[in-house]
Amino acid sequence: MRLPGTRYQEHGWEQVRKLLGQCSLGAFAGPGLDDYIDAMSAALSRLGSRFDGPGNSYGDTVRDLAFTLLYELQARSGDWAAFCTTLPSHPGEALLRKKFNDMYATLRDKVDSDNYQAACGRVCSPNRIYAYRMLDTAYHEIARLFADWRSHAAQVGAILGRDIDAAPIEVRQMQSIAGCRPEWILRWSASCDGPLHTRSKRFDALKDNPAKIGAMLAEIAEYEALSANRDADWRVDSGAALDWLDDYQRVMAAPEEAAPGPDRILEAQQDELDVVEAEMEIEIEIEIVEADPASMLLAASVSLPPGFMQMARLAEDPASWAARVMQEDGLPVRLAVYAKLTGPVDDVYPDAWCDPATGALPTMQQLAVLAGVSLPTLRKRRDAAVARLMNAARP
Amino acid sequence: MKPEDLLERRLRAAMLTASGVDHDCLVLADAVMLAAIDGSCPLTRGERAALAASPLTIRRFRTLSLDYAASLKPAWRESSGMLRAADSGAALTELVTDDGYWTLHFLAARDAATAPRVILQLHAQAPFARQLLADQPLLRVIDGAGAVVLQGRLDPDGECESAWPFDAPPAQHFQRSGAVFAVEALPG
């Protein structure tokens, strides 16, 4: 399923989820979020190329998506704290994997609901994203039943609301989700104790409400048709993608006298589908893996080329705004800041900044060694530098 | 743009839009932000503070700003070209517009029962190619005398084909009608 702005709603998500779960088993060592993030970054950087396949139809790889979600987690320490409180003191591997699966499944819908709001300006809760996905899944299930209507005549009859003897015309007419009628979704759910017929309050706003279901189906269909003949989001990587910064600066600096009063600030709007339930345990099966590649990957060396610091310094632009703000911090701290803010892999980084073994900026462990400080000290200095940059960037 | 400038702008962008504000929501309506972007109505002090404190709204601002900039790009209207070196004796097989974005291909009749064809082809690297394929405007090719050579809409491959409408073969026809041609979008 594709929706405006979303990145984690297609089939590739399954692989992203598995990758994050697998690496987490090796990377998790306690409630320290920074420890976890650094260990995960190192594990993801060192993975082989088999995770560089597409994770969605916008051209993001499975690894890209795992990284992005990890960085979102870094910015949401409250979610991490909540996650840690639900863990028993010595969780077994299967339970730990399931907990990580649940946490990332929840996080992806939070991230995608924000993506959706930024893309189309409409209020959207994580549970609404979940509801879109439920409807999309229901449509595919109905399409599957329709395709083999002879074997499922009773259920297809229940969905269409009449007895079936010959091939129903609806079977041929439903070419896409655009042709799926909301009543069919409701009757399908009734026919199998589906998601709209449980005691869960999650979809209360949709129960017995074909108009709302129809509007959501139409939205999925419309965007799928629109995005089908469009390639990857061209704005993400080109320099023009940052032109909005100039608009932002201009808008923030415009003379205030011309502005009318009073402030036109929106009240926080409640999404009627914004249902928070205690059990967010969704569509996740526990799987048993034979090997634990993450722990093997984590046993990596700190080795960098001998001349790394010198070459990396030469590659810096001392006149740049960021370098000036962080002048006193030293190169390892600056690299740690870049890795935190824009990720360890980015083609704008000079080659001299990257570990030739990984093509990424050095890990926090490597940088701590380079800086001659402990890992916690490096993190403190990095976060202080980020705070100074934030102050410099936000007028 | 130099890579270090690009890095710097990426950093600024990353900091402005970094999530982490609890219960962040859209704090300004699209219309309010658009009026600030196009300069028709600036934000009040309070609105600026609200925007700066909401990374989610800043991300919406980014979308609106980029869409607005895209809408200002001049749309394609017309490309023209000339008949060149027509005296080689060989039949004319193609003509290209001066901007290099369109080609007219001429296919001879296969036998007495079929007519010769003319195909208008949009080159994929034309800056307006994406827009034109999406908008599907009615296109027309005219010769120097204003007669219609071809009219229609592009197929998904960026091509539009029809029968060659004149009695004279392409080289002769264009020579007689001013040796120029133009591809244009019809309004509406």
What is the interface pTM, i.e. ipTM, of the complex?
0.71
**CA A151, CA A15: separation in Å to the nearest integer?**
32
Residues of A in contact with B14 (CB under 8 A): 341-342
**Are B120 and B31 part of one and the same domain?**
no
**CA A202, CA A132: separation in Å to the nearest integer?**
12
Beta bridge partners of B103: B96, B121
Please tell me the least confidently modeled range out of A72-76, A89-93, B177-181: A89-93
**Are B91 and B162 part of one and the same domain?**
yes
User: Does any domain span residue A180?
Assistant: yes
**Are B33 and B86 part of one and the same domain?**
no
C-beta atoms of A259 and B4 within 8 A:
no
User: Does any domain span residue A248?
Assistant: no
| Final residue in a domain of this structure, among B72, B87, B109 | B72
For residues A167, A172, A177, A179, the Cα torsion angle rounded to the nearest 10 degrees is -90
**Are B65 and B82 part of one and the same domain?**
no
Q: Give the number of other Cβ atoms within 10 Å of residue A245's Cβ.
A: 17
What's the gap in Å between the CA of A151 and the closest CA on chain B?
A: 39
Give the pLDDT mean for B100-117. Answer: 88
Tokens of B122: 């949009």
* CA-wise closest residue to B80 among B171, B178, B188: B178
What is the pLDDT confidence band of residue B88, given thresholds at 50, 70 and 90?
low
**Are A203 and A320 part of one and the same domain?**
no
C-beta atoms of A118 and B62 within 8 A:
yes
pLDDT tens readout for residues A56-67:
888 889 999 999
| Final residue in a domain of this structure, among B72, B88, B109 | B72
**Are B89 and B176 part of one and the same domain?**
yes
**Are B98 and B9 part of one and the same domain?**
no
**Are A288 and A334 part of one and the same domain?**
no
Residues of B in contact with A394 (CB under 8 A): 15-16, 52
Helix (H), strand (E) at residue B94: strand B94-96
Interface test with A, best of B16, B25, B155 (most A CBs within 10 A): B25
**Are A288 and A357 part of one and the same domain?**
no
Helix (H), strand (E) at residue B10: helix B3-17
pLDDT of A231 over the 80 cut: no
For A198, the domain range is 13-229+283-298
**Are B86 and B53 part of one and the same domain?**
no
Please tell me the least confidently modeled range out of A8-17, A80-89, A299-308, B174-183: A299-308
pLDDT tens readout for residues B110-167:
888 888 999 999 988 787 887 788 788 899 999 999 999 999 999 988 999 999 999 9
| Final residue in a domain of this structure, among A240, A268, A298 | A298
**Are A362 and A213 part of one and the same domain?**
no
How big is the CA angle at A69 (ends A375 and A330), to the nearest 5 degrees?
30
User: Does any domain span residue A5?
Assistant: no
C-beta atoms of B52 and A252 within 8 A:
yes
**Are B35 and B117 part of one and the same domain?**
no
pLDDT of residue A279: 42
**Are A288 and A325 part of one and the same domain?**
no
- Per the structure, the count of domains in chain B is 2
What's the gap in Å between the CA of A192 and the closest CA on chain B?
A: 36
Beta bridge partners of B182: B80, B142
How far from B182 is each of A163, B81, B96, CA to CA, in Å? 61, 6, 10
Contact between residue A100 and residue A24 where contact means Cβ atoms under 8 Å apart? yes
Please tell me the least confidently modeled range out of A21-35, A92-106, B122-136: B122-136
What is the pLDDT confidence band of residue A286, given thresholds at 50, 70 and 90?
very low
What's the gap in Å between the CA of B81 and the closest CA on chain A?
A: 30
Give the pLDDT mean for B77-98. Answer: 80
**Are B108 and B155 part of one and the same domain?**
yes
User: Does any domain span residue A261?
Assistant: no
pLDDT of A256 over the 60 cut: yes
C-beta atoms of A75 and B14 within 8 A:
no
User: Does any domain span residue A270?
Assistant: no
C-beta atoms of A118 and B16 within 8 A:
no
B38/B128: higher pLDDT: B38
Q: Does A232 touch chain B (CB under 8 A)?
A: no
Question: Which of A118, A256, A265 lies closest to B27 in CB terms?
Answer: A265
Chain A segment 150-189 residues within 8 A of B by beta carbon are: none
Q: Does A318 touch chain B (CB under 8 A)?
A: no
| Average pLDDT along chain A | 84
Give the pLDDT mean for B168-187. Answer: 90
Helix (H), strand (E) at residue B105: strand B102-107
Question: Which of B16, B47, B156 lies closest to A263 in CB terms?
Answer: B47
**Are A207 and A84 part of one and the same domain?**
yes
pLDDT of residue A42: 92
Please tell me the least confidently modeled range out of A6-15, A158-167, A288-297: A288-297
**Are B65 and B104 part of one and the same domain?**
no
pLDDT of B74 over the 80 cut: no
User: Does any domain span residue A109?
Assistant: yes
Question: Which of A263, A317, A342 lies closest to B44 in CB terms?
Answer: A263
C-beta atoms of A266 and B26 within 8 A:
yes
For B37, the domain range is 3-72
What's the gap in Å between the CA of A44 and the closest CA on chain B?
A: 21
Give the pLDDT mean for A228-239. Answer: 47
**Are B61 and B84 part of one and the same domain?**
no
Return contacts of A153-159, CB within 8 angstroms, 24+ apart. A155/A188, A155/A191, A155/A192, A158/A187, A158/A188, A158/A190, A158/A191, A159/A184, A159/A187, A159/A188, A159/A191
| Final residue in a domain of this structure, among A298, A323, A339 | A298
**Are A64 and A93 part of one and the same domain?**
yes
User: Does any domain span residue A241?
Assistant: no
pLDDT of residue A394: 67
**Are A289 and A358 part of one and the same domain?**
no
**Are A201 and A339 part of one and the same domain?**
no
**Are B84 and B166 part of one and the same domain?**
yes
**CA A207, CA A75: separation in Å to the nearest integer?**
35
**Are A337 and A289 part of one and the same domain?**
no
| Final residue in a domain of this structure, among A273, A298, A323 | A298
Please tell me the least confidently modeled range out of A183-197, A216-230, A279-293, A304-318: A279-293
C-beta atoms of B41 and A252 within 8 A:
no
Estimate the crossing angle of helix A62-75 against helix A13-27, to 10 degrees: 60
| Final residue in a domain of this structure, among B12, B37, B72 | B72
- Per the structure, the count of domains in chain A is 2
Q: Does A241 touch chain B (CB under 8 A)?
A: yes
Task: List the beta strands (DSSP E) in A265-311.
Answer: none
**CA A125, CA A127: separation in Å to the nearest integer?**
5
What is the pLDDT confidence band of residue A280, given thresholds at 50, 70 and 90?
very low
Residues of A in contact with B24 (CB under 8 A): 114
Interface test with A, best of B47, B133, B135, B155 (most A CBs within 10 A): B47
**Are A369 and A315 part of one and the same domain?**
yes
**Are A36 and A181 part of one and the same domain?**
yes
**Which residues lie closer than 8 Å to A183 by C-beta, 6 or more apart?**
A161, A210
